[in-house]
A and B are shown apart, each in its own frame.
Chain A
Amino acid sequence: MSTATASETRSDFRVCPTTGLKVHKDADALMKANAVVATVCLLVGGIAAILVLLTRWQAVHLLDAVMFYRVLTIHGMNMLIFFILFFEMAVLYFASAVVLNSRVATPKVGWIAFGLMVFGTLMVEWTMFTGKADVLFTSYVPLKAHPAFYGGVILFAVGAILVTCIFFATLVIAKREKTYSGSVPLVTFGGITAAIIAAITLAHGAAIYIPTFFWSMGMGNVDPQIYRLVWWGLGHSSQQINMAAMVSIWYLLGALTVGAVVVNEKISRTAFVLYILFISMASAHHLLVDPGFGPAWKVVNTSYFMYMAVLASMLHGFTVPAGIEMGMRLRGYTQGMFGWLRRAPWGDPGFSSLWLSVVIFGFVGGITGVTFGTEQINIIAHNTLRIPGHFHATVVSGTAMAFMGLTYYVIPLIFRKKVSFYGMARWQPYVFSIGMLIFSLSMTFAGTFGVPRRHWDITFAGAPFDVAYSSAVPLMLGIMAVGGLIAAVGGGMYILITVWSVFLASRSGTTARMQPSRGRCLRASTTDPSSNSPMSRWNSRSTARWE
């Protein structure tokens, strides 16, 4: 009986010819479904982004006030919640089942979770598109939306909690069925970090959206300040799920593109644990200029707790490039101090995405974020354009860029399709990332003049008193628009490439064919998949040379 089950189970796997990893059919299907919905949400959020951008570009000022706030709500929810979390669900299946060569625990529950998330998303989209939820992403009480808005978010969150549970259950199964030996790989460890933060985050989400749901139907009351406190336990912590997932993807892409090694497991894993311990309380930096909390509470939460999470990011910011350098050197790129960097596969979109994500997340997103988290600096940054300037550098140039880079490997590994328009794909990370960099920097500069975020008309036409910003502001907003449009072109390239590859291009056979990047790093064999793939080459090297 048990052997029959075992053999059945074995036939449910296929071996990925490029990585040598075993992919279970349920993991395969669940990852595909989540990734496809994520891309659709990215498209909706991206179109909304262009409309918002063309309205904030005061020279164009496209939408009217009602539509502006509605489209801004659609942009925020689709990008920060739906796109990112659907993609992360796929990452959780990958980090557990695929990396550990395991089957997925309770795939049926996986599909129920997927259904709940899609249904919740559709409820929220319906309320937003029909003008029943013009409350923006944060939906600060007592701004009130239709109950279906909160209900949709709750159903979506329940689905995400279920996937998190499946992730942990899959880890247990993999351990019990001995699908791997030793400790879990670092990428899975990062996935565990993301999943634990997700559990904390979703608990905050339940604690605030459930009372708000009842309040929206006229039952009970929700204190506006308590709402801001608990909501940011969700709103900021969810960005830490993104960050933990992104850092895992940095390690993953390093491994896939250039065979980056883990310099020291202790350092990298300790850094992940620091995220878990300190990041939730650090959400307090959103409340630095709020009336409800004292200075001691603000200082403790935003200095002691936040800086320990910052330390974690600084450690990863060192170990990821260091691992790439060591990997490149071990593979023979040893000339000079920077030969490994010069000869890195800059034309491989997976590698360029990884590198751009690390640099812009750290230097632009990280530095602005840490400074705004200071009591006094927050006074001159709160609710100005400096804030979206910061988080577009983290969430878009950092997280979304890393996700996009991973997609160029998901298409051949999981969808088993060739990446279409590969020449365009080589350019896509640069176009997207440089556009976002121009966008973030000019937005931040405009914010230093006090220009408010989430504002339809900064010429204040019709207001009782005139406000005239510095003449630098229209210039900065113009540059911001140009950067944003360049990034939108990059985003469009990404969607075109992924949709075309997955749905319109022909199947690349059973072989996951990765296109060569300047002929060096990832020349996957299309003829002999099992023995000559890059990963297995590295693995054999690791036994032959690295040990």
Chain B
Amino acid sequence: MTDASTPRIDWNTALAQHERWLRTVIAARLGEPQAVDEVFQEVSLAAVAQRAPIADASRLAPWLYRLAVTQSLLYRRRTGRRRKLTDRYAERFRPGEGESRTPDPLEWLLADERRKSIRQALSRLPRRDAEILLLKYTEDWTYRQLAEHLGISHSAVEARLHRARARMRGELAALNIVETRR
């Protein structure tokens, strides 16, 4: 329920304006494309219902981002058992974090199956890493724009992107090794 202190927002317009990148966030968080519609609908309803009212209309994007993450987590909780199985599988095959070798992107860049390996590598990344990479490369946002939408600092964006890229390269290198050995 809204009160006098809640800023007035035209939710149809606001949701239309932010829909695309919020869907990307949900897709990255869920890894389940068929669930994106459902979760985005939940986000829209929660935004309109204002159960956790927005205090500052100028911070709408980070507020919607948190809502999208929360609704994605709730969805994952609802479908938790199946999710745990797949996550455990992904975890088992994830390359070690402390790998001494710097993954060389050349092998991947020369590969025919780049698109397929991108999809596979993304699906094996931690959700937060996939999310920031997808936002960076699909929305083509600057670090400042990423920081504004996610409600984090510029240096946090830099650190998160750096970590996500390192993991992505590790996954791509691992996939390439598997493909080469076949």
* Chains A and B bind each other: no
Name A residues whose Cβ lies closer than 8 Å to a Cβ of B.
none
